[in-house]
Amino acid sequence: MKNLSRLLFTMLLVTSMGNVMAQDQNNPWAINFGINAVDVFPVGEDAPQGGYFEEFFNAEDHWSILPSLSTISVSKYVGNNFSVQAGGSINQINKWGQTEDNVTDPSIRVDDLAYYALDANVRYHFGDIIGTSKLDPTIGLGGGYTWIEEGPFNTSSLRAGSNNLVGAGTLNASLGLTYWLTDNFGFYIESKYKHSFEDYLTKHFQHSAGVSVRFGGTDTDGDGIYDKDDACPEVFGLDAFNGCPDADGDGIEDSKDTCPNEAGLAEFNGCPDSDGDGVADNNDDCPQVKGLKSLRGCPDSDGDGVADAKDKCPSEAGPAANSGCPWPDTDGDGVLDKDDKCPKVVGTVANNGCPEAVAVVQPSQEVINKLNAYAKTILFDSGKSSFQQRTFQVLKDITAILKEYPASNFTIEGHTDSQGAKASNQSLSDRRAKAVLNYLVENGISSARLNSYGFGEDYPIDSNATSSGRANNRRVEVKLRK
C-alpha cells in the first residue's frame, strides 16, 4: 500500500478539475463519495475464477470490500441526458475465486493485493425517459487504467518477482442508479465491468455505493428557480411567471401589470374597475360612480352626450355647445333664439324667425333651397329608415316651412349611394322617403299635399368612389310639385 498516498492525491486532483468532468441541467456538477468492492470471479476464466456472471451476487465469497472511503468521482452534465465522469478508487483484493469442489474452501484467499484505478466514462441518464426526478438510472461506457499488485494467481510473465504493481488499460461498461433525496443530495450504487487490454491484468467487476452531491446551479433571488430559467433573476418571483413577481397577487406579472401595486383584472392589464362600468380606474374620470365608456366612466343622466359633471342641465337634454342645456325659443315660433333674428316676435322658419312682410302663395327657389339644405341633414340609423335623435329638430323645421305654404304640394325623394345590392338600395330609399312623408303628415301636413318616391342609387350627385361622395349621395330632397 505504499502508493496509497499518491493515489489519494490523484483522486483529490480529479475532484478539483473544473472543466474536465456531470449532472442535471440545473445542477450540472456532481461528486460521488463511497466504498467499492472488487470481484475477479465471474469474468469467464478458468478456475479458480469462474464463468461470466457466475455467482455474480455472492458478495461473501467473492467480493473484496474496502469498508472506508475508497472511491471518488466528479461528473458534469453536458446536455441531452449525457454526462461525463472521471474518478479514482483504491482497494485491497483478498478473495480470488474458489476451489473446484467449492466445499472445503469456497473462497480462495490472497494477501491483500493493492488495487488502484483511474477511470473516465460517458453516461446516459434515463430519468427523463421514465418520467422521474428522484430515480436516476444510468448506463456508461468508457475506459481507464488499473493497477493490481501481483499475487499467486496473477503473476506477470513480464515482470520478475512479486509484490509488483501490474497496470494496464481497460475498457469499461457500467450500470448505475442514484436516488435523489433532494435536488442536491442522494445515494448511488454502480456496477462496472472492466475488460483489460493485456492478458497479465485480470478482467474484473467493480461495484461501488455511496453518496452523491449535486451543485453548480445559481438561484440569486432565492425563489427556487435557477437563474438560467429565471426571467427576473434579481427579484423573488413565482414559478407561474418564470421567476418574475406579482406584487399585488392578481395573477398578472408586474412587468405586464399597468397597476402592479393594486389588484385588478386581466382585461384591464391588471388595473381595477371599482365602479364596475367597464372602464379601468386609471382611465376613469369618475372611478367611484358607474358611467359610460364614451365619457371616460362618468354618468350622463339625460343622455345628451354631456357628462353630468360638465352638464349645466343634467336632467334635461341639450347640446354640448350650450353646456348640456336646450336652446330656448322665446317667441315659440319654432326658430331657436340662437337662429332667430326676431327672437321676441313670432315669425317663420323660412324668414329666420321674423314675420313675413308679404304673403307668398308659392315658395321661392330660395325657400326650396333652404328646404333641401335642411333635408340633406336628415340622418337615419345605419341601413334603416328610423331617424337619429338629432334629426327631429330638422324635421320640425321642414314641417314649419311647409305649414307656411298651405297651398303648395311637395314631393319627397329618397336617394342612396351605390354600396350594397341595387334592389336593397331601391327599397331603402323608398322606405326613407316614406318615413319623412309620414312624419310630416303626423305633424299637421295634409297627406294630399305630399308624394314620396325612392330612386335608390340611380341619381348620384357626387362620386361613389369616395366616402365623402357617398355621404353626399345618401340624401333626401324636397321638391315643389306644380
Q: Provide the residue type at 428 as one letter.
A: L
Q: Which of 169, 171, 165, 172 is nearest to 148 (CA)?
A: 165
C-alpha cell at 36: 467499492
Among 176, 198, 215, where does a domain finish? Answer: 215
Question: Does residue 55 lie in a domain region?
Answer: yes
CA atoms within a 13 Å half-sphere pointing along the CA-CB vector of 178: 29
Residues 232 and 206: beta-carbon distance below 8 Å: no
Residue 74 has pLDDT above 70, yes or no: yes
Confidence of residue 394 (pLDDT cuts 50, 70, 90): very high
Identify whether 240 is part of a domain: no
Pairing of strands 475-481, 185-196: unpaired
In a domain, 407, yes or no: yes
Q: Which pLDDT score is estimated for 4?
A: 40
Domain end call among 215, 236, 263: 215
- pLDDT category at 215 given cuts 50, 70, 90 is confident
Last residue of a domain, one of 185, 215, 245: 215
Domain membership flag for residue 197: yes
CA–CA dist 482, 296 (Å, integer): 53
Q: Provide mean pLDDT across the span 108-119.
A: 94
Residue 111 domain flag = yes
Q: What is the dihedral of CA 130, 134, 139, 145, to 10 degrees?
A: 170
Grid cell at residue 469: 361622395
- pTM score of the predicted model: 0.48
Confidence label for 247 from pLDDT (cuts 50, 70 and 90): confident
Domain of residue 96, CATH code: 2.40.160.20
pLDDT at residue 25, as a whole number: 66
Does residue 458 form part of some domain?
yes
Measured CA to CA, the distance from residue 213 to residue 30 in angstroms comes to 5
Give the integer Cα–Cα distance in Å for 449 and 398.
14
Please check whether residue 187 is in contact with residue 16, taking contact to mean a CB–CB distance below 8 angstroms: no
Task: Give residue 16's pLDDT.
Answer: 36
Q: Is residue 302 one of the residues assigned to a domain?
A: no
d(CA 334, CA 346): 9
The one-letter amino acid code at 422 reads K
CA distances from 98 to 38, 54, 110, 313 (A): 15, 12, 11, 113
CATH, residue 475? 3.30.1330.60
d(CA 161, CA 157): 10
Q: Measured on CA atoms in the order 304, 307, 313, 315, is the torsion positive or negative?
A: positive
Which helix or strand (DSSP H or E) is residue 62 part of?
helix 59-62
Question: Alpha helix (H) ranges present in 69-197?
Answer: 127-130
- Residue 455: HSE in the Cβ half-sphere, 13 Å Cα cutoff: 14
Largest CA distance in the chain: 151
pLDDT in tens, 371-391: 998 988 899 988 899 999 999
Contact (CB, 8 A) for 398 and 375: yes
Dump pLDDT digits (tens) for 159-172.
Answer: 544 568 899 999 99
Q: How far is CA 31 from CA 12, 22, 28, 370, in A?
A: 11, 9, 11, 98
Q: Produce one character per residue of 406-423: b if its CB has 16 or more CB atoms within 10 Å, e if not.
A: eebebebbbbbbbeeeee
Number of domains in the chain: 2
Per residue in 111-124, is it b (16+ CB within 10 Å) or e — as a string?
Answer: eebbbbbbbbbebe
- Taking the C-alpha atoms of residue 451 and residue 444, their distance in angstroms, rounded to an integer, is 15
354-358 long-range contacts, CB within 8 A, separation 24+: 356/404
How buried is 69 (Cβ within 10 angstroms: 0-12 exposed, 13-18 middle, 19+ buried)?
A: middle
Cell output for 321: 355647445
Contacts of 62 (CB under 8 A, 6+ apart): 39, 40, 41, 42, 55, 95, 97, 98, 107
Contact (Cβ atoms closer than 8 angstroms) between residue 74 and residue 86? yes
Percent of the chain with pLDDT over 70: 90
The pLDDT of 394-401, averaged and rounded, is: 93
* 154 is a domain residue: yes
Q: Which domain holds residue 463?
A: 365-481
